[in-house]
Amino acid sequence: MTGWLGNAYLWVKAAHIIFVIFWMAGLFLLPRYLVHHQEALGTPEAAAWERREALLRRMILGPSIGAVWLLGIALAVNIGLLDGQPGLGWLHAKLLFVVALSGYHGWAVGYAKKLARGQGSTSPRNLRLLGEVPAFAVIFIVVLAVVKPF
Ligand code: HEM
């Protein structure tokens, strides 16, 4: 299936990057919301954070993670991931990071649900530190995708 996207390849790649930006915007924002939500537990403000988190998940995070995966897989098949093309070590490494980042997404959504039940189990300091995870993941993923070092 190598090259199956034909002339659409660059359009698909542009769409991939657009949805990557949306997904990352959501992944930078949600952990910030979690910090504020946890601080607001037991006050009327907590319900407002719950609503903001639900909106962010429904409008940004959910649709964009789906689009990034779909378009990314289309690109990966286009450059020969399924045909055993050589020189795709960077893509395998990138996929490992993206799977980890998707797991992080799941953790953050799960934590938002926990907070909605009034249960915050992570210390405020650790929650803030966890909020930096997407930034580090993006550095590795973009270097792998653009520089393709191996
Ligand atoms: C979800 C699974 C993902 C898959 C399967 C995937 C796969 C791919 C593939 C195959 C390409 C095309 C490379 C080429 O044709 O040269 C690409 C491009 C790119 N991807 Fe992804 N990707 C995924 C997620 C991400 C994420 C999360 C980011 C950033 C955080 C990202 C950033 C980029 C960038 C910046 C490019 C453009 C590279 C270039 O043209 O130089 N991708 N991706």
Q: Tell me: the pLDDT tens digits for 106-143? A: 999 999 999 999 999 899 999 999 999 999 999 999 99
Which residues, 6 or more positions from 50, have their beta carbon under 8 angstroms from its beta carbon? 37, 112, 115, 116
Domain boundaries, the chain: 6-147
Distance 94 CA to ligand 1 centre (A): 8
Compute and round to an integer the Cα radius of gyration of the chain.
18
Task: Please report which confidence band the pLDDT of residue 2 belongs to, taking 50, 70 and 90 as the band edges.
Answer: very high
**Residue 88 CB less than 6 A away from ligand 1:** no
**What average pLDDT does the segment 11-28 reach?**
98
Q: Is 94 annotated as a binding residue?
A: yes
The pLDDT of residue 1 is 82
Is the distance from the beta carbon of residue 75 to the nearest atom of ligand 1 less than 6 Å? yes
For ligand 1, whether the C-beta of 141 sits within 6 Å is yes
**pLDDT in the model for residue 129:** 98
Mutation to probe ligand 1, out of 1, 4, 17, 96 (largest number of atoms < 8 A from CB): 17
Residues ≥6 apart with Cβ < 8 Å to 65: 23, 102, 105
Atom of ligand 1 nearest to the CA of 76: 10
Percentage of the chain beyond pLDDT 90 is: 98
Name residue 147's amino acid: V
Helix, strand and coil percent figures for the chain, each rounded to 5: 80, 0, 20
Give DSSP secondary structure letters for 79-91: TTGGGT-SS-HHH
Q: How is residue 148 annotated by DSSP?
A: -
Strand, coil or helix: what is 120? Answer: coil
Whether residue 27 has its Cβ less than 6 Å from ligand 1: no
The pLDDT-based confidence of 29 (bands split at 50, 70, 90) is: very high
Residue type, 140: F
> For 80-99, how does the pLDDT look when each residue is reduced to its tens digit (9 = 90+)?
999 999 999 999 999 999 99
Pocket test for ligand 1, best of 2, 10, 20 (most atoms within 8 A of CB): 20
